Chains A and B, each alone.
Chain A
Amino acid sequence: MGEIKHLINITDLSVEEIEHLMETADDIIAHPENYWDACAHKKLATLFFEPSTRTRLSFTAAMMELGGNVLGFDQAQSSSSAKGETVADTIVMAGCYADIIAMRHPKEGAPVVGATKSSVPIINAGDGGHFHPTQTLTDLMTIHRKKGEIGNFTVGLCGDLKYGRTVHSLIDALLRYEGVRFVMIAPDELQLPGYIRDRLNGAGVDWREVTNLDDAIPELDILYMTRIQQERFPSWEEYEKLKDSFILKRSMLKAAKEDMIVMHPLPRVTEIDVDVDEDPRACYFYQALMGKYIRMALILYLLGIK
Chain B
Amino acid sequence: MNIDGINTGYVLDHIKAGKGFELYHLLGLDKADCTVAIIQRASSGKYGQKDIIKIDADIPIDYDLIGYISPKITVNIVKDRELVKKFKPNPPTILTNVLECRNPRCITSVERGIPQKFRLVDKESRDYRCVYCDTLYRENK
Contacts and interface: CB of A to CB of B under 8 A. Distances in A.
Nearest to A130: B133
B136 A109 contact: no
A246 B133 CA distance: 30
A108 B102 CA distance: 12
Given A88-B111, A88-B114, A113 B132 contact: yes
A86 interface: yes
A300 interface: no
Most chain B CB within 10 A, of A86, A107, A109, A127, is at A109
B85 interface: no
Nearest to B131: A112
A71 to B, nearest CB: 23
B112 to A, nearest CB: 6
Interface in B102-119: 103, 105-114
Interface string B88-112: 0000000000000001011111111
A80 B8 CA distance: 54
A109 B113 contact: no
A181 interface: no
B111 A113 contact: yes
Nearest to B132: A109
A70 interface: no
A83 B103 CA distance: 24
Given A87-B107, A129-B105, A109 B133 contact: yes
Nearest to A84: B112
Given A86-B112, A86-B113, A88-B113, A108 B136 contact: no
Interface string A128-149: 1110000000000000000000
Contacts of B132: 108-110, 112-113
Contacts of A129: 105
Interface in A50-104: 86-88
Given A128-B105, A129-B105, A109 B110 contact: no
B94 to A, nearest CB: 13
B118 to A, nearest CB: 12
Contacts of A292: none
A110 B111 CA distance: 9
A236 interface: no
Given A87-B107, A128-B105, A108 B112 contact: no
B107 A110 contact: yes
Determine which residue in B106, B109, B136 has the highest number of CB atoms from chain A within 10 A of its CB, and name it: B106
B130 interface: yes
B4 to A, nearest CB: 47
Contacts of A87: 107, 111
Contacts of A113: 107, 111, 114, 132
Nearest to A116: B114
B134 interface: yes
B103 to A, nearest CB: 7
A87 B110 CA distance: 9
Nearest to B135: A108
Nearest to B109: A107
Given A113-B132, A130-B133, A195-B136, A108 B113 contact: no
A87 B133 CA distance: 15
A6 interface: no
State the 9 A-B residue pairs at the shortest beta-carbon distance, nearest first. A109-B132, A108-B133, A107-B107, A109-B107, A109-B133, A110-B107, A112-B132, A108-B105, A128-B105
Interface of B: 103, 105-114, 130-134, 136
Interface of A: 86-88, 105-110, 112-113, 127-130, 195
12 contacts: A87-B111, A88-B114, A107-B105, A108-B133, A109-B106, A109-B108, A109-B130, A110-B107, A113-B132, A127-B107, A128-B133, A195-B136
